[in-house]
């Protein structure tokens, strides 16, 4: 039964993955795949040369990942629980339909909207200026960049993210709530002892997968705003590779970085999975 899906994956994912061999070549698209010059690990230099800019990019990446795991990851869970606790089915649906809308905007548009509202001549600053007050640099402040990124992601994807959790909530056996009520459990206790455990496995699963993506933080979102705050504050791994390789058509470099990121992700996911097992959770897969 696994066959059709498996074949699709092997043909359209793993077969082209073999092309990542160009990580060890100076690949030129007009030279046949096998015949580009082999350059050993030269393409990996961009990440292993210990360049200060690279280290800064790595630092920013990890910082953003940590902040986002703390603030972005739980947001849809909280919202899903809140929605789930609503009395009226209709309000619940309306609210959810509204909140998931921003997911469908591309980053170009989201950032344009943020600029129209928060930019130097955006709605808020124009208002402040015309009333003789000082303006606030929301978008160009290097110290506030991570907060800005995080709020954009929350705005864009929280509503969308609830969908999966809402589906998980429907799987909880209502009998459990009934039993809890019979025992006189308060609503908070029900939440804590019935609802959260009911979706815990999913939360952990998603968290592990998110950890695998630790080195990937919104490339498009950041590169579009890099001019606003400058590179020192906004350079992350992906933008660094873009600015120092991809931009000049160095295909081998992007393949090399893809390989390294993949390997790191494997370590992180398997590691996190192991930790989940230690705590008696299912994780992504069991032994």
Partner 1 sequence: MSTIQRGIDDGPAMSSRVLKTVVLVVCCAFVIIPFIGVIATSIASQEHVTNSGGFVLWPDGLNLDAYKAIFNGGVVQRALLISVVIATGGTLISLAGSTMLAYALSRPGSFGQRPILLIVLFSLLFSPGLIPNYLVVKEFGLLDSLLALILPTAISGFNVIVLRSFFMGIPDSVLDSARIDGAGDFRIFWSIVLPLSKAVLAVVGLFYAVGYWNAFFNAMLYINDTAKWPLQLVLRTYVINNTELSSGDLGGASADQLPPQESIQMAILVVSLVPILIVYPFLQRHFAKGMLTGAVKG
Partner 2 sequence: MTISRRTLLGGSLAAAAVGLSGCSTVTRSTDIAALNKPVALPTYKRFEGPKPDLPRSHPLMPDCFYRFPANPTKVTNGVPGDGTDVVGTTLTSNPIPPTADRNPYWQELNRRLGSPLKLTITAATDYPNKFATAVAGDTLGDLFNVDSGFAYLPQFLEARAQDLTEYLSGDAILEYPFLANAPQASWRGCVFSGGIRAVPIQRGVMSSNTLLARQDLLDQLGVELDSPTVDDLVKVAKAVTDEKKNRWGFAVPPTAAVSAMLGLPNGWEVRDGKLVHSRELPEHKQLLSITRQMVKDGLIHPDGVAKNNQKVWFTQGSAVMTQDTYSSIQSFYRRATNENFSITVPVSRAQDGKVGRVLLGSPNNSIAAIRPSSPERTKALLRVLNWFAAPFGTEEYLFRKFGLQGRHYTLNGTDPQLTKDGGSEVCLGEFPIQYLADGPYPAYFPGHTEAVDNLYNHLKAVLPTAILPPAYGLYSPTQSTKGKILDTRMDALTKDIQLGRADLSAWDDAVADYRKSGADAIRNELEQAMAAKGEN
Positions 116 through 145 that interact with partner 1 (CB under 8 A): 116-117, 121, 123
Contacts of partner 2 in 217-246 (CB under 8 A): 226-228, 230-232, 243-245
Q: Does residue 61 interact with partner 2 by CB under 8 A? A: no
Contacts of partner 1 in 156-215 (CB under 8 A): 159, 163-164, 166-168, 170-175, 177-178, 181, 187, 190-191, 194-195, 201-202, 205, 209, 212
What's the closest the beta carbon of residue 283 comes to partner 1, in angstroms?
10
Pick between residue 15 and residue 86 the one whose CB is nearest to partner 2: 15
Distances (CA, A) of 78 to 4, 75, 124, 164: 37, 5, 29, 13
Q: Which does 4 bind (CB under 5 to 8 A by kind): partner 2, partner 1, none?
A: partner 1
Q: Given the rule CB under 8 A, which of 47-55, 136-144, 227-235, 253-261 is the region that contacts partner 1?
A: 253-261
What is the C-alpha to C-alpha distance for residues 145 and 124, in angstroms, rounded to an integer?
18
Which among 240, 244, 238, 221 has a CA at the least distance from the CA of 145?
Answer: 221
Residue found under tokens 């905007």 = 105
CB 90 within 8 A of CB 141: no
126: DSSP letter: H
191: DSSP letter: I
List, in sequence order, every residue forming a beta bridge with 38; answer none if it has no partner. Answer: 25
What is the C-alpha to C-alpha distance for residues 104 and 111, in angstroms, rounded to an integer?
13
What is the C-alpha to C-alpha distance for residues 128 and 228, in angstroms, rounded to an integer?
20
Two tokens at 120? 């130097």
What's the closest the beta carbon of residue 143 comes to partner 1, in angstroms?
23
What is the C-alpha to C-alpha distance for residues 72 and 14, in angstroms, rounded to an integer?
31
Which among 191, 165, 163 has a CA at the least distance from the CA of 95?
Answer: 163
Q: Given the rule CB under 8 A, which of 38-46, 55-63, 225-233, 247-255 is the region that contacts partner 1?
A: 247-255
Pick between residue 34 and residue 280 the one whose CB is nearest to partner 2: 34
Residues in contact with partner 2, shown as a per-residue x/- string from 81 to 120 under the rule CB under 8 A: ----------------------------------x---xx
Two tokens at 4? 């059709």
Pick between residue 28 and residue 209 the one whose CB is nearest to partner 2: 28
Q: Does residue 144 interact with partner 2 by CB under 8 A? A: no
Which among 158, 116, 106 has a CA at the least distance from the CA of 138?
Answer: 116
CB 79 within 8 A of CB 103: no
Contacts of partner 1 in 63-122 (CB under 8 A): 79, 82, 84-87, 89, 92-93, 95-106, 108-109, 112-113, 116-117, 121
Pick between residue 29 and residue 271 the one whose CB is nearest to partner 2: 29
Pick between residue 198 and residue 262 the one whose CB is nearest to partner 2: 262
What's the closest the beta carbon of residue 235 comes to partner 1, in angstroms?
22
Instruction: For residue 227, count CB atoms less than 10 angstroms from its CB and return exposed for 0-12, middle for 13-18, buried for 19 or more.
Output: exposed
Residues that bind partner 2 in the complex, under the rule CB under 8 A? 15, 18, 26, 28-37, 115, 119-121, 125-126, 129-130, 132, 135, 139-140, 142, 226-228, 230-232, 243-245, 247-251
């Amino acid at each position: 039964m696994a066959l059709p899906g498996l074949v699709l994956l092997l043909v359209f994912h793993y077969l082209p993955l073999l092309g990542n061999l160009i990580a060890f070549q100076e690949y030129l698209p007009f030279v046949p795949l096998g015949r580009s010059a082999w350059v050993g690990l030269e393409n990996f230099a961009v990440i292993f040369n210990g360049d200060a800019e690279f280290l800064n990019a790595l630092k920013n990446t990890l910082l953003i990942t940590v902040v986002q795991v703390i603030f972005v990851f739980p947001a849809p869970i909280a919202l899903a629980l809140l929605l789930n606790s609503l009395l009226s089915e209709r309000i619940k649906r309306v609210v959810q339909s509204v909140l998931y809308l921003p997911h469908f905007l591309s980053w170009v548009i989201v950032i344009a909207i943020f600029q129209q509202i928060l930019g130097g001549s955006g709605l808020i600053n124009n208002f402040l200026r015309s009333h003789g007050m000082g303006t606030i640099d929301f978008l160009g402040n290097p110290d506030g960049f991570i907060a800005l990124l995080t709020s954009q992601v929350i705005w864009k994807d929280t509503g969308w993210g609830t969908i999966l959790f809402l589906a998980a909530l429907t799987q909880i056996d209502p009998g459990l709530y009934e039993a809890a009520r019979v025992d006189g459990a308060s609503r908070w206790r029900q939440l804590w002892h019935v609802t959260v455990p009911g979706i815990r496995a999913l939360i952990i699963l998603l968290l592990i997968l998110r950890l695998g993506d630790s080195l990937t933080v919104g490339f498009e979102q950041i590169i579009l705003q890099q001019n606003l705050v400058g590179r020192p504050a906004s350079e992350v791994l992906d933008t660094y590779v873009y600015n120092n390789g991809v931009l000049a058509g160095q295909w081998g470099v992007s393949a090399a970085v893809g390989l390294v990121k993949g390997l790191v992700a494997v370590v992180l996911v398997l590691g996190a999975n192991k930790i989940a097992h230690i705590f008696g959770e299912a994780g992504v897969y069991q032994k």
